[in-house]
Amino acid sequence: MTDHIVDGCGDHVTALDTEPPAIEPLLDDGENVLQGVEEYFYELLIDMDMISRIRRTNPTQIQAGQMVLSREILRVWDLMYSHRFLQLHPDENRMQSEERH
């Protein structure tokens, strides 16, 4: 059985001491990595929604956190877009890198 904790650092699922630790497969495949990044991106969007709702009651305290979260969302979005572009246009990317050298 697991406990679900929401605190100032985010939303966590914690395992009880009696459970063996969960073994997650390593993300070595490009598709698995992209899936992990996409899941992280959607978690950030959910966090932003929660912060936006809280901001109505505490605007001053939340504004800085919202700016940091916005930057992280944009960084992850750029990472996902770049990865997809590389998958869709591998020849163009190879030609551009060869032209530079």
Give kind and range of the element (H or E) at residue 7: strand 2-7
12 is a domain residue: no
According to the model, what pLDDT value does residue 55 have? 76
The Cα 13–Cα 25 span in angstroms is 18
62 is a domain residue: yes
9 is a domain residue: no
The angle, 0 to 180 degrees and rounded to 10, between the axes of the packed helices 30-55 and 59-88 is 160
Q: How many domains does the chain have?
A: 1
According to the model, what pLDDT value does residue 27 have? 47
Residues 14-56: tens digit of each pLDDT? 555 555 555 555 445 667 777 888 888 888 888 888 888 877 7
**Model confidence at 95: pLDDT above 80:** no
According to the model, what pLDDT value does residue 1 have? 44
45 is a domain residue: yes
38 is a domain residue: yes
Domain with 85, as residue range(s), is 27-100
